Structure 1
Amino acid sequence: MSVVLKDNKAGGDIVVGTKKVYNTQPTSLSHLYEIFRDAEQSSAHKSNIADLLQHYTAAASFDVRGLEAKLTAGGRADIISEALLWKQRAAMIIARWQTSPVTQDIITHILSFIHSEFVQHVKPAIEAGQSRIDVEALVGEKVLAPTNAMLGENDLQITPIDVLGLLYFLGGNCHIRWDKC
């Protein structure tokens, strides 16, 4: 097949094939998604942050209580059943992608973002004794919504409930707590 363009007055791009257009500047996740989509690049990718993923998947040594105890202490006993299910789903997502270094990096970026946003915005509110309603609003506004937005093209098909599950996964592995220190 050949394409002949004579006297073009398109006033913009003429594309034969595929043109990638980003609504925003490419991010570290969009770059990792590109690697993920290319089988050759994906198989050659070496994870640079797998040690951080191991940190998040192992229980921290400073608060060894289980998720149930942390939620109860934080006045959230009413969501224990759901939180355990969401945490288990998150663990299954991590396990599903554990053999791929590029997906390890993607998941590590997501977990790291959730953890840092929680520590920066939610933990101070908990320490200040803010109400559960205020804390939950901060979780939604400062942790969940930005994490879902950060997913961008979301090649791993991580849903909003999966993001919530990753938050509880971090809580279950002693990286996040819902009560005062």
Structure 2
Amino acid sequence: MSVVVTDNKAGEDIVVGIKKVYNTQPTSLSHLYEVFRDAEQSSAHKSNIADLLQHYTAAATFDVRGLEAKLTESGRAYMIPEALLWKQRAAMIIARWQTSPVTQDIITHILSFIHTEFVQHVRPAIQAGQSPVDVEALISEKVLAPTNAMLGENDLQITSIDVLGMLYFLGGNCHIRWDKC
């Protein structure tokens, strides 16, 4: 079947069938996903921010307590078993993609976003003495939901539980804490 449209005065696309339209602005991740999908571009990609990924995967020196201690001291000991599992899952995702510079950049953007949102929105609430329930609500609203939305096309298939695991991964590596400084 063919369709011929002559003298189109609609001023818009004329579509027979299904037209998919994505109304999103290009983002850092959408560009990296395009590179990731193209084998030639992906193999030629040089990570521009791999040093930041190394920073996130190494333990910081200013708060050397483990994840268990941080959760216990902030009244969240009940989270320890799951948090350790999710942290380990995040570590495995990071390790799985460590040989690809383009995926290193994608993961670095995600970790950086989680860290920044936590510092900007959650840490002030902790410092102000808000309850753990209020802090968890802020984490969900200001960190987890926007991070999941940021994933966009999500070519790495990172789930919402993986995003939560990355939060605990950052906590375990001393970049995030749930108690007052």
TM bin, normalised by shorter chain, reads: over 0.9
Q: 1:36 to 1:81 in 2, by over 3 A?
A: same
Deviates further, 157-166 or 22-31: 22-31
Q: Deviations over 1:23-78 (max 9, x none)?
A: 21111100100000111111111100000000000000101110000000110000
TM-score (norm 2): 0.92
Q: TM-score, normalised by structure 1?
A: 0.92
Gap regions ≥5 residues in structure 2: none
1:87 aligns with 2:51: no
Percent of residue pairs identical: 89
How far apart in 1 are the matches of 2:142 and 2:109? 16
Given the alignment of the two structures, is residue 173 of structure 1 paired with residue 179 of structure 2, yes or no?
no
Q: Structure 1 stretches of 5 or more lacking a match?
A: none
**SS in structure 2 of the partner of residue 48 of structure 1:** coil
Residue deviations 1:69-90 (CA, integer Å, cap 9, x gap): 0000110000100000000000
Structure 1 runs, 4 residues or longer, greater than 4 Å off? 2-11
Residue-by-residue CA offset, 1:3-38 (whole Å, 9 max, x unaligned): 8654556653368xxx88432111110010000011
Q: Give distance in 1, aligned partners of 2:13 and 2:90.
A: 42
Match of 1:58 in 2: 58
Q: Equivalent residue for 1:149?
A: 149
Letter of the 1:128 partner, please give it.
Answer: A
